A and B are shown apart, each in its own frame.
Chain A
Amino acid sequence: MSTRSGAALTASPEYDGPYARYDILKEFTAALVVVTLLSVMLAVFLSSPDRRPITIRSWAQADPVDFVSTAVTELDGSSASAGYGPPYNSTPGAGQKIGPVSLQRLVGVHEPIDSSDAFVLGPLRTIATTQPAVAGAMSRYDGADPSQQGRWTKAYEDAAAKASYAAGRLQLPAGNYGPVAELMSAELGMARSGALDGYLLSTPQFYSTDYTKPLMFLADGGYMASVARTEHLQGSQWGMMNETGNYPGQAWLWLYTMWYQIPPFSHSGNADALIWGMMVLLTLLLILIPWIPGLRDIPRLVPVYRLIWREHYRRLAAQGAGSGR
């Protein structure tokens, strides 16, 4: 087989110029060796980050005031997850929109979470059988009408803002919290012992891989967010691109996270939905460049190609290229 016919098989039909020997398997082997060595050296010298996860227990021990401040909002339905809307619950009016359309609302509830039951009353029921004080507080709370429940929890929330933890207990200013103080104290005890972590992960089927409940509870509080802030992981810190410590993160997410930093997205309640829509559009533009006049002309107008193919153009010029290619 002559070089020419072999070359004709490999080439673009538009090209009738010279060919050169090119050992693609040797090139591939060299690339693989180089990349493997590079990866091994980076792994050996720089290792990888592994910041320990937080638990309900570590939260309640590190910041018990933040924990009970969050727990009481779960009880009275004023927490972020309680008012989230789909897919967790159907809070009226909740859900982001792109223009007039709310895909979030259209899809509906698929991961139902009743915050007060999931995070407070359910766990406390498991200890009420052996702790009469808790049982008494729960039946007093259940027996009260909603407006009375609301007065108790509101008073507790306001007091928690000025609370402290000392001598093994929460120190709250005096106030009328009804049974809520007892409930929150029991909740804190469950959390600090680790029992609440266990409860939130247990299922009737024994097996589970779903961490939704403890993560939603953690995310409702301020502690997790404050840990994230120290690691520059928050949205307003371009956190999507970042990694814990001094490691590089996902730098390729720069365009996605950038929109969150600038108006109108930075103050919009629909920022997530709007930015998703924007990124889908931009991704489609990237995929469809070959069909988009203007965009597909940029390489011709910004002639980086003259650097890449300078040998080829030199050869053509030397031949006195009559083809104009």
Chain B
Amino acid sequence: MTLLQARLAGVLVDLNHPGHYLHWGFIQLSVANLVVIVLMVLLFVAALVLPFPGRRNRS
């Protein structure tokens, strides 16, 4: 496999284009970072709210 083929195979979504940024007042945030932060908050809330299996394991 040539280097080029390997690189093409490995990049199915190319994030190497100029970044997208959001501006709110003095805050500047990349879309990528915003996605990460939103996912963290969603996962935190989900972890708190979703029921945890295991009532059958009571000893």
Chain B associates with chain A:
yes
- List the interface of chain A (C-beta within 8 A of B): 3, 7, 18-22, 43-47, 49, 230-232, 237-238, 241-249, 251, 261-262, 304, 307-308, 311
Instruction: Check B26–A261 contact: CB distance below 8 A.
Output: yes
Of all chain B residues, the one with the shortest Cβ separation from A262 is B26
Instruction: Check B19–A241 contact: CB distance below 8 A.
Output: no
List, sorted by A's number, 8 A–B pairs whose CB atoms are closer than 8 Å. A45-B13, A46-B11, A49-B16, A242-B19, A243-B19, A246-B15, A307-B48, A308-B48
Name the distance in Å between B42's Cβ and chain A's nearest Cβ: 15
Instruction: Check B15–A47 contact: CB distance below 8 A.
Output: yes
Report the separation of the CA atoms of residues A71 and B37 in the bound assembly, to the nearest whole angstrom. Answer: 43
Given contacts A242-B19, A246-B16, A248-B35, 18 further A-B contacts (CB under 8 A): A18-B59, A21-B59, A43-B10, A46-B11, A49-B16, A231-B19, A232-B19, A232-B21, A241-B29, A241-B30, A242-B33, A244-B19, A245-B15, A246-B15, A246-B19, A246-B20, A247-B15, A261-B27
Report the separation of the CA atoms of residues A261 and B28 in the bound assembly, to the nearest whole angstrom. Answer: 10
Asked if B1 is at the interface (CB within 8 A of a chain A CB), the reply is: no
Partner of A44, one of B12, B26, B54: B12
Instruction: Check A307–B13 contact: CB distance below 8 A.
Output: no
Partner of A249, one of B18, B30, B57: B30
Residues 1 to 55 of chain B near chain A (Cβ within 8 Å): 7, 10-21, 26-33, 35-37, 48-49, 52, 54
Q: Which residues of B contact A22 (CB under 8 A)?
A: 54, 57
Indicate whether A246 sits within 8 Å of B32 (C-beta atoms), given known contacts A47-B15, A307-B49.
yes
Report the separation of the CA atoms of residues A3 and B59 in the bound assembly, to the nearest whole angstrom. Answer: 8
Report the separation of the CA atoms of residues A174 and B59 in the bound assembly, to the nearest whole angstrom. Answer: 93
Report the separation of the CA atoms of residues A22 and B52 in the bound assembly, to the nearest whole angstrom. Answer: 12
Binding site secondary structure of chain B: mixed
Partner of B30, one of A248, A262, A311: A248
Instruction: Check B12–A45 contact: CB distance below 8 A.
Output: yes
Name the distance in Å between A164's Cβ and chain B's nearest Cβ: 28
Q: How many residues of B are counted as interface, with CB atoms below 8 angstroms from the partner's CB atoms?
A: 31
Name the distance in Å between A9's Cβ and chain B's nearest Cβ: 14
Q: Which residues of A contact B11 (CB under 8 A)?
A: 46-47
Report the separation of the CA atoms of residues A104 and B7 in the bound assembly, to the nearest whole angstrom. Answer: 45
Of all chain A residues, the one with the shortest Cβ separation from B26 is A261
Of all chain A residues, the one with the shortest Cβ separation from B58 is A20
Instruction: Check B33–A241 contact: CB distance below 8 A.
Output: yes
Q: Which residues of A contact B15 (CB under 8 A)?
A: 46-47, 49, 245-247
Name the distance in Å between A22's Cβ and chain B's nearest Cβ: 7
Instruction: Check B12–A20 contact: CB distance below 8 A.
Output: no
Of all chain B residues, the one with the shortest Cβ separation from A305 is B48
Name the distance in Å between B33's Cβ and chain A's nearest Cβ: 5
Name the distance in Å between A241's Cβ and chain B's nearest Cβ: 6
Q: Which residues of A contact B58 (CB under 8 A)?
A: 18, 20
Q: Which residues of A contact B18 (CB under 8 A)?
A: 230-231, 245-246
Q: Which residues of B contact A242 (CB under 8 A)?
A: 19, 30, 33
Report the separation of the CA atoms of residues A238 and B59 in the bound assembly, to the nearest whole angstrom. Answer: 53
Report the separation of the CA atoms of residues A20 and B53 in the bound assembly, to the nearest whole angstrom. Answer: 12
Instruction: Check A248–B36 contact: CB distance below 8 A.
Output: yes
Name the distance in Å between B26's Cβ and chain A's nearest Cβ: 5
Report the separation of the CA atoms of residues A105 and B20 in the bound assembly, to the nearest whole angstrom. Answer: 41
Report the separation of the CA atoms of residues A248 and B40 in the bound assembly, to the nearest whole angstrom. Answer: 13
Report the separation of the CA atoms of residues A243 and B11 in the bound assembly, to the nearest whole angstrom. Answer: 17
Q: Which residues of A contact B57 (CB under 8 A)?
A: 20-22
Q: Which residues of A contact B59 (CB under 8 A)?
A: 3, 7, 18-21
Partner of A246, one of B17, B29, B36: B17
Report the separation of the CA atoms of residues A20 and B49 in the bound assembly, to the nearest whole angstrom. Answer: 21
